[in-house]
């Protein structure tokens, strides 16, 4: 056993491993965190290494995966980058940006990452665990694995799964997704590929996403227990509540919920989309139907369009132009439709994107400067260093109200003095955070750098009411339920389902 730092956890860590990506590890950790909090414990989420462009910024300006931030909310604590010490942000072509303890350390290929970054990465993980335990003497770590723990070609360099489990001697559960099929082979195959000292850490098995009568799986449960000599601690039914997916590919698999929508929103599915959790508040509005726009089409079917954040803004702008979507968006802007860009989406709505340090996907182009869609008279220059910070400011449009969120971008944007800027106005009293203008048909074109803008209930309601008014729909009640309260309700519902169907007690000893 590898020597650990000078700490001896009073409470045994719990670790959630999965038979594959998408098995349900993130939601299982979220549920366990809330269950433990409800029992009076002090849980803290942890994932040594995550690969995701769905990021969050902590109060020190450090980047971390949004899934660990959500798990921290389930614990009732403030998220910090120690909970996700390594974040890999994919950029395409087998390259990723490496984030260590919230700070960018550079770009690497997958091959070079496994050659150069494993040892320093493991040191960062151990350091983060030490920081957490030194500051939280009586906590219980709830740890999330990544993908499968037995990818045999990578297992010697895997920083997230069995290395962490053995280092902390964690009580582990193995989660598998029955919806995908082959659940027996997933479980047996995963366990068979483990070494004896690794397998003994598996204290239970969890069957996830079961549809129908749970009693129908009783024979399957007995077979698994007889074959593995490991108890099946729970069978979790299929849950309808909506959580942000870990991976942008999962966006295409999200079910559409809105039986009687009054407003239809189209979100452009950029190849390098990031921070898609920005739209969870819209997906949880019963009157709104959210659909992902994948290719060139008539956009007039939507009441408003959203251009989301992007990890590679210039590459995504080139995609918009080559796919025909850029023209579709321009055509849509001539109607009474509404367009809203967030971060990279805001930048693409402008006139010029200048990438002198090759930060945003211009490296393979002859010119580091390209034209944007041109719907807002703003220009963006991408700098070497990121702006990452929490935001607390006041909006001017469409309503004067306090706004909370965060910034996470390389670009600096300003008005383009070569364009007509008379009609464009700031959205916030902080003049660099966003702009809007009205078109001749009554619609608006707007954008902001603030991630989480739609989580601000009063602001979101007034923006949606602009659209409802144009459709002659009754305005939203100002007493509409807070999204953050609704998020708490979703987490509680998740925890309640686990409480009914999952025996956690054997993992706590």
Among the options 100, 409, 451, 462, which is catalytic? Answer: 451
343 labelled catalytic: yes
Alpha carbon 460 to chain centroid, angstroms: 20
Residues 6+ apart with CB under 8 A from 444: 338, 339, 436, 437, 438, 466
Residue whose C-alpha is closest to residue 455's, from 21, 4, 29, 66:
66
What is the rounded CA–CA span in Å between residue 30 and residue 68?
9
Torsion of CA 119, 122, 123, 126, to 10 degrees: -160
DSSP string covering 101-152, please?
TTEEEEEEEHHHHHHHTHHHHHHHHHHHHHHHHHH-TT-EEEEE--S-TT-T
Q: Is 189 helix (H, G, I), strand (E, B) or coil?
A: helix
Q: Is 341 helix (H, G, I), strand (E, B) or coil?
A: strand
What is the rounded CA–CA span in Å between residue 244 and residue 283?
10
Strand-pair partners of 305: 266, 339
Among the options 33, 75, 139, 343, which is catalytic? Answer: 343
CA distances from 33 to 4, 16, 307 (A): 24, 12, 33
451 labelled catalytic: yes
Beta-strand runs (E) in 183-276 = 202-210, 232-237, 263-268, 273-274
What single-letter DSSP state applies at residue 40? T
What is the rounded CA–CA span in Å between residue 352 and residue 344?
12
- Residue 81 is encoded by which pair of tokens? 């980058």
71 contacts 30 by C-beta, under 8 angstroms: yes
Torsion of CA 216, 221, 223, 224, to 10 degrees: 140
> In the chain, what's the furthest Cα-to-Cα distance?
74
What is the rounded CA–CA span in Å between residue 182 and residue 5?
40
Residue linked to tokens 């702008």: 317
What is the rounded CA–CA span in Å between residue 22 and residue 368?
37
What is the rounded CA–CA span in Å between residue 307 and residue 267?
6
Q: Taking CA 22 as the corner, what is the angle to CA 187 and CA 455, rounded to the nearest 5 degrees?
A: 150
Pairing of strands 304-307, 263-268: parallel
83 contacts 67 by C-beta, under 8 angstroms: no
Spatial strand order of the sheet with 86-92 comes to: 49-51, 86-92, 95-100, 103-109
Torsion of CA 380, 382, 386, 389, to 10 degrees: 0
Which of the residues are catalytic? 343, 451
């Amino acid at each position: 056993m590898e020597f650990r730092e000078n700490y001896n956890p009073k409470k045994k860590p719990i670790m959630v491993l999965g038979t594959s990506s998408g098995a349900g590890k993130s939601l299982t950790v979220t549920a366990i965190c809330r269950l433990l909090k409800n029992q009076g414990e002090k849980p803290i989420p942890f994932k040594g290494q995550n690969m995701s462009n769905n990021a969050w910024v902590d109060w020190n300006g450090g980047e971390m995966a949004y899934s660990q931030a959500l798990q921290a909310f389930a614990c009732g604590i403030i998220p910090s980058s120690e909970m996700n010490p390594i974040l890999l942000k994919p950029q395409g072509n087998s390259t990723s940006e490496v984030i260590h303890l919230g700070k960018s350390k550079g770009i690497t290929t997958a091959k070079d990452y496994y050659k150069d970054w494993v040892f320093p990465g493991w040191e960062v993980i151990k350091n983060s665990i030490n920081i957490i335990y030194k500051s939280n003497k009586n906590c219980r770590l709830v740890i999330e694995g990544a993908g499968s723990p037995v990818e045999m070609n990578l297992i010697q360099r895997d920083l997230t799964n069995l290395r962490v489990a053995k280092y902390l001697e964690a009580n582990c559960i193995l989660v598998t997704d029955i919806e995908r099929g082959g659940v027996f082979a997933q479980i047996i195959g995963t366990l068979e590929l483990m070494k004896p000292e690794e397998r003994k850490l598996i204290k239970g098995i969890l069957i996830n996403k079961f549809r129908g009568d749970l009693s129908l799986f009783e024979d399957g449960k007995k077979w698994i227990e007889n074959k593995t000599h490991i108890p099946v601690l729970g069978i979790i039914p299929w849950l309808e509540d909506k959580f942000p997916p870990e991976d942008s590919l999962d966006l295409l698999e999200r079910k559409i919920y809105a039986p009687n929508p009054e407003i239809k929103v189209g979100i452009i599915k950029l190849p390098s989309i990031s921070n898609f959790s920005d739209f969870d508040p819209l997906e949880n509005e019963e009157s709104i139907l959210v659909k992902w726009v994948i290719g060139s089409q008539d956009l007039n079917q939507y009441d408003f369009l959203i251009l989301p954040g992007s990890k590679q803004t210039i590459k995504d702008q080139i995609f918009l132009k080559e796919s025909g979507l850029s023209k579709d968006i321009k055509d849509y802007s001539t109607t009474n439709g509404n367009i809203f860009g967030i971060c990279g989406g805001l930048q693409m709505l402008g006139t010029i994107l200048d990438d002198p340090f090759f930060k945003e996907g211009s490296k393979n182009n002859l010119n580091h400067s390209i034209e944007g869609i041109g719907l807002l008279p703003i220009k963006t220059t991408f700098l070497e260093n990121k702006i990452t910070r929490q935001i607390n400011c006041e909006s001017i449009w469409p309503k004067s109200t306090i706004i909370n969120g965060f910034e996470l971008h390389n670009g600096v944007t300003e008005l383009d003095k070569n364009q007509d800027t008379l009609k464009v106005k700031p959205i916030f009293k902080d003049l660099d955070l966003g702009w809007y203008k009205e078109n001749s048909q009554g619609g608006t074109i707007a954008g902001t750098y603030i991630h989480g803008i739609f989580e601000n209930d009063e602001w979101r309601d007034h923006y949606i009411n602009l659209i409802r008014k144009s459709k002659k729909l009754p305005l939203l009640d100002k007493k509409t339920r807070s999204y953050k309260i609704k998020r708490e309700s979703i987490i509680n519902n998740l925890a309640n389902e686990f409480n009914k169907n999952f025996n956690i007690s054997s993992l706590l000893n």
